[in-house]
């Protein structure tokens, strides 16, 4: 397993370079213009000059290599400088966003807290409720618990968040006035009251996202458990006199985890991608909002960097999932 992991990690480097090239070409090919959102009162000649100043005049391979150099050399050096007080990155150009004309990495770092809090927490909560719901639903298939679970999760998945979010705002922010409708990203938790405020402003977005995540994961959990509950080894285990708890929670659960692990591993990188619609509805302004505004503004360095970090996480977590398969089911061997 160790050599397999090592081999996969080494293989990940050319894979990621290739992915970054494809993303770059895609972004370059996509129609759009960083000056599209400027008022029409700005004359076309000035817009052409602005594009020139952004470096758009250069050929594409130069721009790609420049980005690679900035992202793979200048940015890590800058992080080192920041951490150890060295000055290796002196004078090296970092990846600069076209919209804000500031280093992309700084903005991403600024957006991380709210995204991790809201999207990350909702993913954790979603998973934590989904697993028991999936297990109980399968164990007591077609019981009232299962029926309600099915109903709620299907509604939760099929009704889009742009609707549930606004519905919650209208009920809880406008009519009841319990929660703020606009997330305050500058809020700092220092004491109990400010912590309560933080909780209040997170309730609605976390609920909307957790419902959506839980719906998806619980369906896979339930289906997989159902498959395994009918297997012969379950009968054997019961016949051997094992307690029901041990049979279900150890034997069946372990064997049912493979699809669930896959889904969760696919979901973790999306935390970093943020939740575009939910962030927009609740004005959380995290990484999802950053990505979508950058795409609209054709801020290619920002989109490229965000997508690439996303790609790294995808490759990593899919590797983690593959390793977990081997642990969950030792018969799976890659070597």
Residues 122-161 that bind another protein (CB under 8 A): 142, 147, 150-151, 154-155, 157-160
* Residue 9 found at the interface with another protein (CB under 8 A): no
Query: Which residues are CB-contacts of 44 (< 8 A; sequence separation ≥ 6)?
Result: none
Q: Which of 73, 79, 182, 327 binds another protein (CB under 8 A)?
A: 182
Check binding of 81 to another protein (CB under 8 A).
no
The reply on whether position 87 binds another protein by CB under 8 A is no
Per CB under 8 A, the list member of 4, 268, 318, 323 interacting with another protein is 318
Q: For the residues of 109-167, what is the DSSP string, one character each?
A: HHHHHHHIIIIIHHHHHHHHHHHHHHHHHHHTTTSHHHHHHHHHHHHHHHS-HHHHHHH
Of the pair 94, 121, the CB lying nearest another protein is at 94
Distance CA 8, CA 210 (A): 32
Comparing CA positions, the residue from 67, 116, 117, 76 lying closest to residue 96 is 67
Q: Which of 1, 9, 11, 62 binds another protein (CB under 8 A)?
A: 11
Q: Is 238 in the site for another protein (CB under 8 A)?
A: no
List the one residue out of 248, 258, 269 whose CA is nearest residue 123: 269
Largest CA distance in the chain: 83
Q: Tell which one of 75, 206, 290, 305 touches another protein (CB under 8 A).
A: 290
* Footprint (CB under 8 A) of another protein, residues 194-233: 216, 219-220, 223-224, 226-227, 230-233
Kindly report the number of other CB atoms within 10 A of residue 13's CB atom: 10
Least distance CB 236 / another protein (angstroms): 9
Site for another protein in 248-287 (CB under 8 A): 255, 258-259, 261-263, 265-266, 269, 280-281, 283, 285
Tokens of 22: 């494809």
Instruction: Confirm if 19 and 269 have CB atoms less than 8 A apart.
Output: no
Select the span of 32-40, 63-71, 77-85, 115-123 touching another protein (CB under 8 A): 32-40
163 binds another protein (CB under 8 A): yes
Q: How far apart are CA 245 and CA 263, in angstroms?
A: 25
Pick the binder of another protein from 54, 95, 119, 131 (CB under 8 A).
54
Q: How far is the CB of 143 from another protein (least distance, A)?
A: 12
310 contacts another protein (rule: CB under 8 A): yes
Nearer to another protein, 271 or 295 (CB): 295
Closest CA to 219 of 263, 251, 250, 165: 263
- Identified binder of another protein from the candidate list 103, 126, 149, 205, rule CB under 8 A: 103
Q: Is 110 in the site for another protein (CB under 8 A)?
A: yes
Least Å distance, CB 283 to another protein, is: 4
Question: Which CB sits closer to another protein, 66 or 159?
Answer: 159
Q: Is 180 in the site for another protein (CB under 8 A)?
A: yes
Q: Which residues contact 137 (CB under 8 A, 6 or more apart)?
A: 145, 146, 149, 150, 218, 221, 222, 225
Residue from 40, 83, 90, 188 in contact with another protein (CB under 8 A): 40
Structural contact between residues 81 and 89, judged by C-beta atoms closer than 8 angstroms: yes
Stretch binding another protein (CB under 8 A), from 60-68, 72-80, 171-179, 246-254: 171-179
């Amino acid at each position: 397993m160790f050599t397999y992991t090592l081999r996969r990690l080494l293989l990940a480097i050319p894979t990621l370079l290739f992915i970054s090239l494809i993303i770059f070409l895609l972004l370059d090919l996509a129609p759009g213009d960083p000056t599209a959102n400027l008022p029409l009162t700005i004359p076309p000649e000035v817009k052409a000059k602005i594009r020139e100043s952004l470096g758009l005049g250069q050929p594409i391979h130069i721009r790609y290599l420049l980005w690679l150099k900035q992202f793979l050399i200048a940015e890590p050096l800058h992080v080192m400088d920041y951490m150890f007080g060295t000055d290796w990155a002196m004078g090296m150009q970092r990846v600069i966003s076209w919209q804000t004309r500031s280093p992309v990495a700084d903005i991403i770092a600024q957006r991380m807290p709210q995204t991790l809090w809201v999207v990350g927490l909702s993913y954790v909560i979603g998973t934590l409720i989904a697993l028991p719901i999936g297990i109980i639903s399968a164990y007591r298939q077609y019981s009232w618990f299962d029926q309600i679970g099915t109903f709620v999760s299907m509604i939760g998945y099929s009704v889009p968040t742009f609707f549930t979010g606004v519905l919650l705002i209208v009920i809880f922010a406008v009519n009841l006035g319990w929660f703020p409708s606009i997330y305050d990203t500058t809020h700092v938790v220092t004491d109990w009251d400010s912590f309560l405020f933080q909780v209040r402003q997170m309730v609605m977005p976390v609920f909307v996202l957790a419902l959506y995540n839980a719906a998806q994961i619980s369906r896979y959990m339930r289906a997989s458990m159902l498959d395994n509950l009918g297997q012969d080894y379950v009968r054997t285990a019961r016949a051997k006199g094992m307690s029901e708890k041990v049979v279900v929670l150890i034997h069946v659960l372990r064997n049912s985890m493979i699809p669930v692990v896959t889904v969760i591993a696919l979901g973790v990188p999306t935390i970093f991608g943020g939740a575009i619609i939910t962030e927009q509805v609740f004005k959380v302004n995290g990484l999802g909002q950053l990505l979508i505004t950058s795409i609209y503004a054709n801020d290619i360095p920002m989109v490229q960097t965000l997508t690439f970090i996303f790609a790294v996480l995808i490759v990593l977590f899919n590797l983690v999932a593959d390793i977990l398969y081997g642990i969950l089911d030792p018969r799976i061997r890659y070597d």
